[in-house]
Amino acid sequence: MGNKRLATNSPFVDDAFQSPTVELRELIVEPVMSDSDYYNVSEMGDAAAFDVEADLKAHHRIPNIIIGITLLAIIVGGFVLLYFGGLKLLATTKSPEDYPGPGGAEIIVTIPAGADLGHIAQLLFDKDITASTEAFKKEAVSHPSYFADIQAADYRLRIKMRAEDALRILGDPSNVIQAYFTIPEGFRNTQVFERIHALTGVLVSELVAVADNPIDLELPEWANGVVEGYLSPNTYAYDATPSALEALQPMVAEFKRVTAEIDFVAAAQALGITPADAVIMAGLVEKEGGSLQYAADIAGVFYNRLRIGMALQSDATVLYALDNSGTLDVTDEMTSFDSPYNTYLYTGLPPTAISNPGRISLLAAVHPSVHEYLYFVATNPSIGEVKFARNWEEHLSNVAEFNAWCAANPTECGTG
């Protein structure tokens, strides 16, 4: 059965279609003795005066000895305490072992996500970047702002560095070694996931899980939770051990940036279609030849067919349904494969986009050419030549050119 997702005012079912008017090309106190501690000689009389000195000596000899011994003990004890206490203090304040720097050969170090101070200190010591874990920990405590700025990423350090130098490098975001992955125009999601996995190590299953429950991807509301078609082709930077969400989220953000820049939603509405259907159209155009030269013309052919209820008969949709991207030669058996994506069997647009389109194809989808063509074929894929036809007879002549090219280039055609 046909596709039922088009709005009732769709140009494909009535005359609501509006012709486009825009061209496609536009980070120690001593004790004090009181007077009562001494004898009062004046009160003792003359007889007693003779014995004063002896009496004083008798009374003070033993106390003086005791006081002397006590003072000696205090002095000796003080020296002992000072000596051993000093040793202990020296031991606790001695600097940990550290290299003098500046270091030797370069080494790439990956700081994993969630690594704490002990983990990082051990990692640097194990790689002989620092002479001890204590040295790095000491510097991190002394310079907390540098430690706080360490990211999960790759860094270029040197073996046998001063711990402070290593900390300063790690704590400077500009020293993060960025890696990149590139997604070409026209990749379907499965190809995007495989490319990201190959370059970043993120598991395909994790990427699929995010795409299947895309709430955190922040898709446009009008995308209706569909991810195919919304992962914008571009080159993206990533740090060490990115998550699946961290890999995909920037691609959706880029899609929204591009579509906002070209006023995609408004242009689709002016054309009489939903922006979601326009993305599907852009995905078709991308796979069928989304070059600046032909994209708008190809979009025009598809819109012409939709307007009169003619099946799109896009080979690209059949190959998507078959998950086959290794051939250009689509056989009759292939076009008989039952799938809602087979536009030979079902009229209207496929259920979702069949690729992630680039800027040119997005523009073409909302600014198609106005013409009378109903057919097109890439007559020479090696140079990207496409020819258009108004009727079946003209089209057969163009197909003959493609068949001749295919016979001469079996490997490129996918038949050799």
Per-residue model confidence (pLDDT) at position 17: 53
Residue 186: per-residue pLDDT: 95
Distance CA 306, CA 299 (A): 11
| Type of residue at 122 | Q
Q: At residue 176, what are phi and psi to the nearest 5 degrees? A: -65, 130
Find out whether 321 and 341 touch, Cβ atoms under 8 Å: yes
What is the tens place of the pLDDT at every residue in 185-221? Answer: 999 999 999 999 999 999 999 999 999 999 999 999 9
Residue 241: pLDDT band with limits 50, 70, 90: confident
Tell me, what's the pLDDT at 3?
Answer: 42
The residue among 229, 416, 228, 376 whose CA lies nearest residue 295 is 376
Which is higher by pLDDT, 166 or 57?
A: 166
Range among 26-40, 69-83, 163-177, 252-266 rated most confident: 252-266
Mean pLDDT (the chain, rounded): 84
| Chain centre to alpha carbon of residue 209 | 17
What is the reported pTM? 0.69
Coil vs helix vs strand at 158: strand
Strand partners, 385: 380
How far separated are the first and last CA of the chain, in Å rounded? 36
What integer pLDDT is reported at residue 266 of this predicted model?
A: 98
Summarised one tens digit per residue, pLDDT across range 124-152 is: 999 999 999 999 999 999 999 999 999 88
Mapped onto helix, strand or coil, the DSSP state of residue 195 is helix
What letter does residue 179 receive in the DSSP assignment? Answer: E
**Residue range 337-363, pLDDT digits in tens:** 999 999 999 999 999 999 999 999 999
Residue 12 has pLDDT above 80, yes or no: no
Read off the pLDDT of each residue in 305-317 and give the average, rounded to a whole number.
96
Phi, psi dihedral angles at 108 (to 5 degrees): -90, 125
Average pLDDT over residues 377-382: 90
Q: What is the mean pLDDT of the segment spanning 230-256?
A: 93
Residue-wise burial string across 150-179, b where 16 or more C-beta atoms lie within 10 A, e elsewhere: bbebbbebbeebbbbbbbebbbeeeebeee
Distance CA 207, CA 229 (A): 15
What pLDDT shows up at residue 40? 42
pLDDT at 336 over 90: yes
What domains lie within the chain, and their CATH numbers? 1-24+264-371 (no CATH), 106-177 (3.30.1490.480), 179-261 (no CATH)
Euclidean distance between CA atoms 299 and 303, whole angstroms: 6
SS3 170: helix
